[in-house]
Structure formats: structure tokens, C-alpha cells
Amino acid sequence: MRDKSQNLTRRAAITGTGSALSVAAFSRLSASAQGAQKKTDRNQVDSKSLAGLAAAKGLAFGASFAVHELDRPHGERYAEIYRHDCQVIASELCLKLAVLRPAPHVIDFDPADRFFAFAAENGLGVHGHTLIWDDYVPDWTKTLSRDEVDHLLNAHILTVLERYQGKAETWDVVNEPIAPWDKNPGNLRQGPFYGRLGEDYIAKAFRLARQIEPNAKLRLNEAQTESADENGAVFRKSLLALLKRQLDQGVPIDAVGLQCHLQTKRPYDFEQFADYVAELLELGLDVEITELDVNDNAYTGSLAQRDQQVAALYSKFLTTVLANPAISSLVLWQMSDATSWMADPNIRDSLRADGRAARPLPYDKNFQRKKAWTAIADALEKIPARAARKGNAASDAVRR
Ligand code: G3I
């Protein structure tokens, strides 16, 4: 339920002068959330869980998390899986502009406060997804002037990062800036931010985020770079060029997130993708897997046969790509088929010709482990240990 007292004037919402209230709420939140011991000590992690197997190699493992799932009948089982198998959680919905700011004069922090409370209560690290994304934007942002978009970018980043200061180890400052179908220079995505501010919106966002959150890892997160086809090649080339332009201007990007939503209708050459990861590392950036799942819509046969093919793809992807010890974080996009975005009937990509539901994740719709869980676990046991690096919770745990 939105806190009516947080209703702000249109200008205040955009300029952020209404953020005083959020600071007060923020101080309450930090009081309650302080003292939470992040689950980075291996003694707190079951060594045979996905989190424990990953931590043994200095890898932080987790998945996206949606607070509204806690209110569904499977809520307790859902929470239990994250407590057992995850060290980090990514905010799937609650920190998106459309959820936080459904209308020009409203900021709704309730779901995000609940998300951070769950993370703090369960000692989970947080990847804040995402501050600025030129997709899924609320309709009211599409009619803003250049100045209003500029104010919104500043006010939004300021308000969110102030409220959750120190609560997220990583922030997706900009998500999916590439969209070749929009035919913009550099293949950048069209939207209120690019449309009004040009490519500069990216530098503005990262510079402001760095100012407010000097200790968080600031990440640019992108999709569709993985496939061995023309689409993947265009995304890889466009992302590499964008990162070079930003870094050449001294934009404070610490990491690049590669989402890795594997589409079984597309061809893959994971060795080629691993080479691309190495190219990104050459830029001096951390490289992280941020939204891994397998859309099995091209797989036929029985559920058991499909699950076997999905497991094999997880195994091939993880053992090839995580053979590089520089990758420090592996995050899936949910843990159960029941809560995957592909279970959403409105998502066209997941529709199978046979009308059956997608089976993309390590737990099935009844929250029971699948072959994919074992494949991920086996891959984690096979990959080399990560180079211990400062600020990587999992490798800190390993060092301890
Ligand atoms: O909760 C409402 C529900 O009350 C309403 O009845 C229903 C129908 O309108 O919508 C529900 O909200 C939906 C929400 O997912 C929860 O299911 C939103 O419409 C829908 O847009 C939203 O989709 C999310 C999408 O991002 C857009 O935010 C997906 O769950 C989420 O998995 C997806 O995640 C993205 C990453 O952020 C970026 N990378 C790609 C990834 C997959 O698309």
C-alpha cells in the first residue's frame, strides 16, 4: 500500500526535493537492517548447496527474487530455496522505475523496502536491478521534456541510492542500452532517456551513482550477446564499442553484466562467447553472469528428455564460460519454473509450439530439484577457483 504521505508534487518528484521523507524512512530502514551478517562466512552456507559449492570456488551465486512471491501459497518454500541455495539476490521488479514511480507524483518504496529487509534478515548480498532502463518505462515518462528527463534521471538515482545507501554491493546503473532494431547510432535503444539526453544519459547515470555510492560496484547490464549468430554478433560488437566510448571518457563503470538468457532456438558457441568475455576483461572491467536461464522452447520430447537437454546446456555453458577464473558472480533469473518470467502468459518468447510451459530453471513448478540443479552443482565442482578479489563476498568467504 503506497504511503500517501509520500505523495509528492510533480516537480518535487522529478527534482527530488521530496526525498527528505525517504531519507527519514531510510534511516529507519538502515537501523533495522544494520547488524545483518551477510551470509559470506562459509560456515553459514551448506557446503553442498549451490551457494556453498560456488563459495568454495570464490564465486557468488544467487538469483533474481520477487517479493510478491512470498505472498503466494508457495511463499515459504520459495524463501527456503533462496536461504539454502543463494548468497546474493537480484531485485527482479521492485527497484525498477515503473514499479517505484507508477505516476509522476508517486514513489512506492514498499516492495523494495521488503526486498532489502528479506536480504538483511537472511544475510544475502544484493544486486540492485536497475536504476535506468529505457524499456518498460511508465507511460508518463514518455511525454517529459529534455529538462524533465534530466531532472528525473538525477532525482531517481539520488532518491534510490540515498534510501538504500550501502545496502547493495552492486547496482545495474544502466540496463540494456543496446537495441539494434531502433536503428540509432551505436545501436542504442530508443526511450525517454536516450531520446531526450542522447548517449550522454549513460555517463550522467554512472557519474551520479559513483558520487552517491562510492563503494558499490557499478555495472552496465546487457542481453543477447551470447548467441553464435548475426544477432549475437551485433550485440557483442555494439556493447564492446559502447563500453570503450564510455571508458575513454573516464565514465566510472566497474563491471559489465552479461544476462545469458539462453534461447534454445538460437545457435551457441560457448568457446567463442568465452573469448568475448576475455575481450571485456581486457577493458579492465569485472564480467558477471547476471540473468542465466534456459528457454527450452526449441526442445521436444518428454519432460524428462527436455530436462536432460536443459541440464546439458547449463553444464556446457558453465564449464566453458566459468573456466575463466575472473568471473566472480553467477546469478540466475529466478530459481523455479513456477516463478520464471517465462511462466508469464504475456511473454511471447516462451510460448512453445506444443503449448506446454517452459522449464528453464533448477527447480520445477513444485519447487523440487531438477536435472538442471545437479548440472549446475556438478559444473560448480568442476570450475577452477576464482582469483580472490577485494569486495567479492564469496572469495572473501573462501579467504576466511
Ligand atoms: O504484478 C502485475 C500483476 O498484478 C498484473 O496483473 C500483471 C498483468 O499486467 O502484471 C504484473 O506485473 C508484471 C511483472 O513482470 C510481474 O509478473 C509486469 O506486467 C511485467 O512487465 C513484469 O515483467 C518483468 C520484466 O522484466 C519487466 O520488468 C519480468 O517479470 C522480469 O523477469 C523481466 O526481467 C528482465 C530484466 O529486468 C532485464 N533483462 C531481461 C529480463 C527478462 O525480460
Which of the pair, 193 or 17, is modelled with greater confidence?
Answer: 193
Spatial distance between the Cα atoms of 103 and 216, rounded to a whole number of angstroms: 28
Confidence (pLDDT) at 198: 98
Residue bearing the CA closest to ligand 1, atom 17:
344
Check whether 22 has a pLDDT greater than 50.
Answer: no
Confidence (pLDDT) at 352: 81
Dig out the grid coordinates for 296 from the structure: 527450452
Asked whether the beta carbons of 296 and 264 are under 8 A apart, the reply is yes
pLDDT in tens, 99-148: 999 999 899 999 999 999 999 999 999 999 999 999 999 999 999 999 99
Asked whether the beta carbons of 372 and 307 are under 8 A apart, the reply is yes
Residue in 253, 263, 257 with CA at minimum distance from that of residue 204: 253
C-alpha 175 – ligand 1 centre gap (Å): 15
Ligand 1 near 291 CB (within 6 A): yes
Residues 6+ apart with CB under 8 A from 205: 131, 132, 153, 157, 173, 174
pLDDT in tens, 368-396: 999 999 999 999 999 999 976 554 444 44
Ligand 1 near 119 CB (within 6 A): no
Confidence (pLDDT) at 35: 34
Q: What single-letter amino acid sits at 77? A: R
41: confidence class by pLDDT, cuts 50, 70, 90: low
C-alpha 193 – ligand 1 centre gap (Å): 20
pLDDT in tens, 177-195: 999 999 999 999 999 999 9
Check whether 313 has a pLDDT greater than 90.
Answer: yes
Residue bearing the CA closest to ligand 1, atom 35:
92
Confidence (pLDDT) at 18: 39
Ligand 1 near 172 CB (within 6 A): no
Dig out the grid coordinates for 351 from the structure: 510460448
Residue bearing the CA closest to ligand 1, atom 29:
341
Check whether 238 has a pLDDT greater than 80.
Answer: yes
Torsion on CA atoms 33, 37, 40, 42, rounded to nearest 10: -150
Residue bearing the CA closest to ligand 1, atom 12:
93
C-alpha 340 – ligand 1 centre gap (Å): 10
> What single DSSP character describes residue 178?
B
Check whether 348 has a pLDDT greater than 90.
Answer: no
Confidence (pLDDT) at 351: 75
Q: Specify the range with the lowest mean pLDDT, choosing from 13-17, 292-296, 390-394.
A: 13-17
Sign of CA dihedral 195, 196, 200, 206: negative
- Regarding pTM above 0.75, the answer is yes
- Tell me the pLDDT of the chain averaged across its residues: 89
90: helix, coil or strand?
Answer: strand
Residues 6+ apart with CB under 8 A from 236: 225, 276
pLDDT in tens, 66-92: 999 999 999 999 999 999 999 999 999
Mean pLDDT over residues 154-181, rounded? 98
Dig out the grid coordinates for 178 from the structure: 543496446
Please state the length of the chain: 400
Ligand 1 near 223 CB (within 6 A): yes
Ligand 1 near 349 CB (within 6 A): no
